[in-house]
Amino acid sequence: MMHRREFLRTILAGGLVIGTGSLMSGCKAIARNDLQLPGGSLETIPGLDETDVTILHHASLAPSGHNSQPWFVKALEPKNWIIGIDPQRRLPAVDPKNREALLSIGAFIENLSIAAGAMGFQAHTEVIANTPVEEEIVRVSLKKGKHTKYPLKRIITRRTVRGGYLPTEIRSKEVNALSEPLKDRLFYFPRGTEHAQCIQEGAIEYFRVQSYRAEAQKELSEWMRLKTADAKKHRNGLTTESMEISSFAGWFLRTFFDKEDVMKESFIKRGIDKVAKQAAEGGGWFIITSKGEGVSDLIDTGRRFERMALKAREHKLGIHPMTQFLEEKEGREVIAKNHDESMIPQFILRVGYLSNYPDPVSLRRPVSWFIRT
């Protein structure tokens, strides 16, 4: 069998004619729209009506670390649900205390509430978990209410953007608009300032530290969906498209790489180089803090974060969580040493104008896969 490097050399030299057979099968990357039901129709799920499925579908478009989609929904009675964290979808190596899982559940609940409002329902929510490691987190009940006229397209088209940021400071008009859901808990550090430089260096350094922590890299590899068949089977995790590894490099990864390769030095080095390039782009950094660290604080922060992310979509601004700084022990120690105790950072985000806001590509499990009736 031809060695990878040899193969690359050969095609780069133009010496190999590639047919349309199996080698090219990974040519087109899989994206979210490829997996929609024909005509955008909804799933039929016993115990749920069309409104319920529509609301839960929009909820599931929330962001989550490694796109693990940690949520499950237990249907108690019509329009009475419990939202929980599926233990199979936790990320113990990078998120041992479920901090990020709870932020993601918060984002899920925010989308759920917004979609319910647009469908003429009001979502009443109550946090029922006392500790972050319980499975059942929030009870939701929907009551008839006013139609809010929120454009649901904004939820559908929001995405994490990693490349193509412009080097322009964010105007105060937009900083204020994005701060609004977070009140005094969003801090903007414009590019070029000393603080922005520190965050940029930390984002790269703790990404590097995490990449060489075998346990964390192994966990990441478990959420990689490099092969199209794997992506279709799980409909979660990270694909070449969602990591913005496109064209030839994407095809090469899909065709020749497996989960095991993610642990190799060459893969790790490329990842660090890519992140260093990304971290240098954009208009600066946002840090989002919370008042406390309890379950309710994290759910509330995840909800506000999602409202902010939807505003960013409205203003066509890219946001990119770069959270290794908060996940790695050394990173957390640096932050604790330099900041007041009352400032508890929950998100570190790169932010920037884009010449073009790209379509969403990350995959989602259908509602029937995460509902427990």
Ligand X SMILES: Cc1cc2nc3c(=O)[nH]c(=O)nc-3n(C[C@H](O)[C@H](O)[C@H](O)COP(=O)(O)O)c2cc1C
Question: What residues line the site for ligand X (CB under 6 A)?
Answer: 63-65, 67, 100, 103-104, 159-160, 162, 242, 321-324, 360, 362
CB of 172 to ligand X, least distance (A): 26
Q: Give the separation between CA 159 and CA 155, rounded to whole angstroms.
A: 9
Q: Smallest Cα–Cα separation from 324: which of 19, 93, 32, 21?
A: 93
Contact between residue 83 and residue 140 where contact means Cβ atoms under 8 Å apart: yes
Question: Which CB atom, from 107 or from 371, has the smaller least distance to ligand X?
Answer: 107
Return d(Cα 112, Cα 57) in angstroms, integer. 8
In the complex with ligand X, which residue's Cβ is closer, 60 or 228? Answer: 60
Q: How far is the CB of 336 from ligand X (least distance, A)?
A: 19
Nearer Cβ to ligand X, position 52 or 100? Answer: 100
Provide the 3-class DSSP secondary structure of residue 285: strand
Structure tokens at 64: 């989550």
For residues 234 and 291, is the Cβ–Cβ distance under 8 A?
no
* Minimum CB–partner distance for residue 28 and ligand X (Å): 19
Closer of 211 and 228 to ligand X (Cβ): 211
Q: How far is the CB of 201 from ligand X (least distance, A)?
A: 16
How far apart (Å, rounded) are the C-alpha atoms in residues 335 and 103?
A: 20
Nearest distance in Å: CB 22, ligand X: 28
Q: How far is CA 180 from CA 61, 173, 311, 315, in A?
A: 22, 11, 9, 13
Please report how close the Cβ of residue 255 comes to ligand X at its closest, in angstroms.
Answer: 22
Q: Which residues contact 370 (CB under 8 A, 6 or more apart)?
A: 60, 69, 71, 72, 73, 86
C-beta of 14: minimal distance to ligand X in Å? 35
Name the residue whose CB lies closest to ligand X. Answer: 63
Nearer Cβ to ligand X (141/160): 160
Closest CA to 255 of 264, 263, 247: 247
d(CA 60, CA 272) in angstroms, rounded, equals: 30
Judged by CB, which is closer to ligand X: 162, or 208?
162
**Cβ closest to ligand X, residue 240 vs residue 323:** 323
Q: Which residues pair with 208 in a beta bridge?
A: none
